Structure 1
Amino acid sequence: MATVKEKTIQPAPSSLKASVWEHFGFYCLEGKPDLDKENAICKVCRTKVKHYGNTTNMRAHMSHHHPEMKIKDGEKLETVTLPANQQTLFQCTKLPPNTARAKKITRSIAYFISKDLRPYSTIENEGFQHMLHTIEPRYTVPSCRLFAENAIPQLYQSTKERVSVTLKKATRVALTCDAWTSRAVESYVTFTAHYITDDWQLETRAHMNELFQDVSKEWHLPTSDLVIVTDNAANMTAAVQLGSFTHVKCFAHTINLAAQRALKLPRFGEFHRSHIASRVLQQKQKLLDLPPHKLKTDVSTRWNSAFNMMDRFLEQQPAICAALLSSEVRKGGTDICTLKEVDVTNAEEMAMALKPLKEATVIMSEDSTPTLSVIAPLHAQLLHDTETGFSGEMPIVREIKQTVHEDLSKRYCTVREKSMLHTASTLDPRFKALPFLSQDEQQDIYSKVIAEAAALKAETQKEHAKEPGAPDEGQDDQHSPVPKRRTTALLNLLGKTFTDSGAAPKSASTRAEEEMTLSEDPLIWWRNHETVFPLLAKLAKNYLCIPGTSLASESVFSTAGDIVTAQRSMLSSEHVDQLLFLQKNLEVEA
């Protein structure tokens, strides 16, 4: 890399006799031998210092930036060495707390506490204070009380105002919620708001409150248009009914209830309760060259735990069988492991019977895209896959399918629920053909969608006309990001429905086209077709912003657990709300 040649600093004229000129000079004017006396040049750091015919600026520069240089009129300049523990004048000068820089540093510390979930007491730690002193020696770190009662609340208020503005612009807002209890045995209800922006991005915001009505009032959300997504708990259902809100029950939780009802089997993870059995299992894993994984147990509150338990059991089945046959384990007694021979034999068959439920759970657990539109086709497919009467099935497989089928048949069976789910599926380009419904049911849903779109147009005409955002013409559908795991699960479950529906056989190109439609993100599709179908696009925003799972609210629990730790169990609910809200909604500041 070529280097830029530095200008030569010319000595000050002999007429300038002050001793400070030993360290200053001038550049020459461009193309001329004359000196540029408007700016004096420091010979130590080559900084330009404005020259007004006196030495005030030069002395100030030397005092602030080169205090080791002793300057005295009438005497020769001499260099003095400061003691290692002696600070310079610049370092000793305190930064007033009301200056812009001090306020910016304080706000950045508040951002750090909120975004990284650090205790207020972090600012008192020796390492943190040493780091800040190194970065800015003049800054004085405020007290914990200032952050708890001033800096964090101010950051919370400004962030809340920004989120409130975006919520008011949303066509529709859907809420998911769930309840949890902290270490301090305090009950909280966590809400997440979901809405679609003008450029068809799904946004999620987290907040805590006690009642649905309070949330709608606080954020100015119309209760008549508000949709609440919760699990199937009786208290949640009752709370929604009291508020007369539109209610959607979490499909992932519904699948879990059906799976747990079917899985009345011994748990496959009892080895960890016996030191002997656990040690023998590890020996067999090494001998059979199997991964040294521990066995898992199913937990009723974790959606995929039953499936993960069976997958791990099948992975380790050779080592488990070898351990069970070991004389060392047999001598330990039958109480250390409740596995039966029939369970080992039937585990693979049972896993295959439950595989559709696992894939459906994987789909619903992805919170990056709206999933209400997926409930109806998934529900219909699972009912189809769990129908019994097939010859050659093992009795235990038939029992699992029958139990799951009976449980799912009781879900989403009201007219209101069906209408909402089917409308959402119609507005999703992947499922708009509604192949899981009869022709009469399809026509009925299409008629309702047309009527609702027309009513929406009449309603919007009364309001102030909003200029729609122009679509990005340079963006091609084929370059749109596609969630791979979700696509694979959808194709596995619904591929048959989409490619085999209809009497006439379909060509390979037709099937490929249908599978491409099935794999496309509905929000990306609507962003690229909004101007072609403007009425339906508005209606799609009303439905596709509603998630089919309350996972977003439940995932907040881990964040809240990081806030209300054993060391911070005495945090007030107000502070917990502020920190949780900021952690989920803060944006990086410039």
Structure 2
Amino acid sequence: MALRKPSIKISGVWNFFSIKSNSERIAVCNMCNTELSFKSTSFNLKKHIERKHPLVNLRLNEPQDNQTKLRKNYDTFTNEQEVAPVPSTSASSIQTSESIESNIPCLPTKSTVARSKVQSTVKTFLRRKLDTTANKKINDTLMLLFIHDYQPFTVVEDYGFKKFVGALNPSYQLPSRKTITNSILPALYDEAYNAMTRELSEVQSVTLTTDCWTSRNGENFLAVTVHFLNADFELQSRVLDCTSCNIQHTSKNLAEELRKIIQEWGIENKIIMFISDNAANIKKGCKR
């Protein structure tokens, strides 16, 4: 009995799907093994590619000469091959079906060449150079390692970390420790500084808290924090400065340091309250 000729699938989408064994209406995705039903068109299969595998979405269409070649190969095979009927439950039936399927030259989904083409397309797409906006977004996220998690800059030179980042996005070029120190971090600081300056310029009044302390190695520090309500009446707190203050902690010297910080942020006429601990020098310095 001659092999029944199924409908010819010449759409480029069939480079990524196989027809499920013993079924003419179920297609299996070669990339994720998802089973999808289809009827007379491949619309459902194309939508799956667009949703689940967008990286190959733009390479679905095969050149017309390839489609013609596939059609010709299939016609030649089906006109020349004869297959004897055997019981569907026998082991020989399974062996015969597998043998026939492996020898059909027209099925692009079973073609090694087609699979290689898909892999090459995806690989090329993934390594396309990132635009400036996408690259900056990833750089800013990378900086969270150092700003929030206090990781050393040398982490970008670790072999395992570089491999991990490359696996996530091969198109991203991991910056060096020097680039982070000299370029990315200063630029991020400038952005934060400008945003905070604009934020403080829009508020009417603020409250300041301050404290002085000496570290274990004998270094003196002075910190100032500003508190205010934003336009939505939400309490906001921002550290204005935390500076090394290796001068004698007299009320005059502390008052001078506080005045510099206040003038830098342009809030001289917005302060309604200054809060500190009960040390005499800082209390007197705040009143100056």
Give the TM-score, by structure 2 length.
Answer: 0.53
Distance 2:173 2:226 in 1: 39
Whether contact under 8 Å (1:97, 1:103) holds in the other structure is no
Distance 1:212 1:97 in 2: 45
Distance 2:124 2:59 in 1: 24
Residue 229 of structure 1 pairs with residue 254 of structure 2: no
Residue 12 of structure 1 pairs with residue 5 of structure 2: no
Residue 90 of structure 1 pairs with residue 123 of structure 2: yes
Per the alignment, residue 106 of structure 1 pairs with 139
Whether contact under 8 Å (1:179, 1:187) holds in the other structure is yes
Per the alignment, residue 240 of structure 1 pairs with 286
Letter aligned with residue 23 of structure 1: N
More strand by share: 2
* 1:161 aligns with one of 194, 199, 202: 194
Residue by residue, what CA displacement relative to the aligned partner does 1:449-483 show, whole Å, maximum 9, x if unpaired? xxxxxxxxxxxxxxxxxxxxxxxxxxxxxxxxxxx
Distance 1:33 1:78 in 2: 23
Unaligned runs of 5+ in 1: 1-8, 14-19, 26-31, 59-75, 245-590
* 2:172 aligns with one of 133, 139, 151: 139
Secondary structure at the counterpart of residue 145 of structure 1? helix
Letter aligned with residue 11 of structure 1: K
Unaligned runs of 5+ in 2: 1-6, 18-38, 68-107, 244-256
Whether contact under 8 Å (1:179, 1:188) holds in the other structure is yes
Per the alignment, residue 196 of structure 1 pairs with 229
Residue by residue, what CA displacement relative to the aligned partner does 1:113-133 show, whole Å, maximum 9, x if unpaired? 212222222323344333312
Distance 1:48 1:88 in 2: 10
Distance 1:179 1:128 in 2: 39
Distance 1:183 1:133 in 2: 42
Letter aligned with residue 227 of structure 1: M
Whether contact under 8 Å (2:204, 2:270) holds in the other structure is no
Secondary structure at the counterpart of residue 206 of structure 1? strand
Q: State how 1:195-214 maps to structure 2 within 5 Å.
A: 195-210=228-243, 211-214=257-260
Whether contact under 8 Å (1:40, 1:50) holds in the other structure is no
Letter aligned with residue 203 of structure 2: A
Secondary structure at the counterpart of residue 137 of structure 1? coil
Q: Kindly tell me the number of residue pairs found equivalent between the two proteins.
A: 199
Distance 1:224 1:171 in 2: 6
Per the alignment, residue 23 of structure 1 pairs with 15
Residue by residue, what CA displacement relative to the aligned partner does 1:552-572 show, whole Å, maximum 9, x if unpaired? xxxxxxxxxxxxxxxxxxxxx
The structure with higher relative contact order (CA 8 Å, sep 6+) is: 1
Distance 2:239 2:279 in 1: 21
Secondary structure at the counterpart of residue 11 of structure 1? coil
Distance 1:235 1:95 in 2: 61
Taking structure 1 as reference, are residues 145 and 226 closer, same or farther at Cα in structure 2, changes over 3 Å only?
A: farther
Secondary structure at the counterpart of residue 146 of structure 2? helix
Whether contact under 8 Å (2:229, 2:236) holds in the other structure is yes
Secondary structure at the counterpart of residue 213 of structure 1? helix
Deviation at 1:215, TM superposition (A): 1.6
Whether contact under 8 Å (1:175, 1:193) holds in the other structure is yes
Letter aligned with residue 259 of structure 2: Q
Deviation at 1:194, TM superposition (A): 0.8
Secondary structure at the counterpart of residue 150 of structure 2? coil
Whether contact under 8 Å (1:180, 1:189) holds in the other structure is yes
Letter aligned with residue 235 of structure 1: N
Residue by residue, what CA displacement relative to the aligned partner does 1:106-155 show, whole Å, maximum 9, x if unpaired? 11101332122222223233443333122113322111122222222222
Distance 1:106 1:90 in 2: 23
Taking structure 1 as reference, are residues 49 and 129 closer, same or farther at Cα in structure 2, changes over 3 Å only?
A: closer
Whether contact under 8 Å (1:174, 1:228) holds in the other structure is yes
Distance 1:35 1:92 in 2: 24
Secondary structure at the counterpart of residue 143 of structure 2? helix
Identity of aligned residues (%): 22
Give the TM-score, by structure 1 length.
Answer: 0.28
Taking structure 1 as reference, are residues 192 and 91 closer, same or farther at Cα in structure 2, changes over 3 Å only?
A: farther
Per the alignment, residue 266 of structure 2 pairs with 220
Letter aligned with residue 206 of structure 1: V
Secondary structure at the counterpart of residue 205 of structure 1? strand
Deviation at 1:228, TM superposition (A): 1.9
CA RMSD of aligned residues (A): 4.5
Per the alignment, residue 208 of structure 2 pairs with 175
Whether contact under 8 Å (1:94, 1:138) holds in the other structure is yes
Letter aligned with residue 12 of structure 1: I
Taking structure 1 as reference, are residues 54 and 158 closer, same or farther at Cα in structure 2, changes over 3 Å only?
A: same
